[in-house]
Structure 1
Amino acid sequence: MQIKNFLIDESLKELTKHHTVVLPIACYQTTITQNIHGYIPLHWHDEIQFVLIVKGEAIFQINEDWIVVREGDGLFINSGRLHMAQEKDQSGCVYICLNLSPYFVISQELYTTYVKPYIQATNLPYLYVDANEIWGKNILDAILEIYQSIEQKPQYYEIDITMQLTLIWKNLIDNGFKLEYVQTEVLKSKRMKEMLSWIHQHYAEKIMLEDIARAGQLSRSECCRYFKRFLKCTPLNYVIDYRIQKSLYLLQQGDSTITEVAYQVGFNSTSYFIKEFRNSMNMTPLAYKKNKMHKDEAGFVY
């Protein structure tokens, strides 16, 4: 089993380059639990994303909403939206992920008319793609075709992919979804990203609620409401969770002690770090470190 580290920057923007050698797209299979965190952490990217669940079920968060996606169904996630994923009920969830630049969906001459309005719509952070709907099945079949084309690379497969992308987008916009544009929704997303970005830049320092609120130009109470709305937790609980996430990589480095890791990620007490780590990971940092070393010796790839 390969354990993957999901790379994002301080603003939560994903650092993975979503392109093949010649096309500004990426299409690959993901097993959620093989991520270093055991789930796909909160992030965003400029690319639009389509997901096809091929095994099990997944719970996706997009902005403030939580959605269960069933096996055989899929999801469209719009450009720039905060999202994360975890498997549901230990179902061994595996999905095909298609990420692509909005500018590559259809020809540039048609972008302003047929793509830009959907990218900018504030009421379209995501769309559930139901295999029981004709338009949904067409999209999901096309995702699978693209995945197989990239894997097998038959002659002219790049042309085949562009044809499938056009089919996907036509079915997406042809389902009758009514677009809305509300500036306050844009501002909410911007403020949330700014607060999360500030936390990710300063997580190793002493952090107060006032600091986080100031980053989003909000009052303390409004800051708490934003985190409850978007993440179902308090700002300071998010800081603790993020520090635990950052500690996982450090614990895999053989020369780091538990105390060193605790202070590097912002905990001012080793015992408090161990307590919070156990609450989050259901094991102590030392057990996690030993488990990692054992897997290394057994030939696992990280």
Structure 2
Amino acid sequence: MNANDNIKIDELTKPYFVWFEDNWVHDNVLHQHEKGQLVYVESGFQYITIEERIYLLPQNHAAWIPSRAIHKTNSHSEKIKLMIMFADTDRQNSFYDEVNVFSVPPVLREMIKYAEKWSKQQKSNKDEVVFLKALFNELPHFVEHSLKLHICLPKDKRLEKVIEYLHHHYNTEIKIEDLGELALVSVRSLERIFKKETGLTLSKYQQMLRIIKSLELLSSGNFTISETAYKVGYKSVQAYTRSFQAVMQFRPTDFMKNINLGSEKRIY
């Protein structure tokens, strides 16, 4: 957690705990909690590894991490505003047993921001309990369409160099024959092993990397859609838009509006 605090979440007896940081600092160590947790990115972006999958949380997105799920934080933007809310959840509802990454609707956003007033309070508060119980009871209804913003980390050692290469060269044209040489297997074997380990073909994996990286760039507010398209390897804005919509089910312009970058930001 935050290196500047010594709050031990699993020793807290209260059912809910709110933790807000204006500039969050992580220790990047795999860990787990008895409580489930809602991670909300108010500004900036955050990568999280949960059960061997890497997820991206852009600005104004949240992730639900189930109880006891092994996770850690990865790289993030230089300055990030983050709210984490821990909760004892309803074990009868299967929603709380699954990872969910989703865009935060206005009502939930306001509820999360209101809860900031209880940040780091370790003593139980009746009003806090009533309010957060209502928030977490409604959470499954807020998450109508969870995003599939994740990529799997393969366990097969033969894919280590392939994955490393893909992550460093996602924005270039990649020849599968070169990847086969890295893995010391035939192209056919590589395709089979890769799909089995990640659930994606090599081309789909590269597409996911490009879209995830583009979300990071757009969330920073430093790049337009067209600049982002070329930075992640697309030869036209149209090609990027088609790929983005295929993965996200909405357009880059919709994403820009959703994260509230403001009318002063250029879109094109």
The TM-score normalised by the length of structure 1 is: 0.41
Structure ID, larger Rg? 1
Which has more helix, going by share of residues?
A: 1
The TM-score normalised by the length of structure 2 is: 0.46
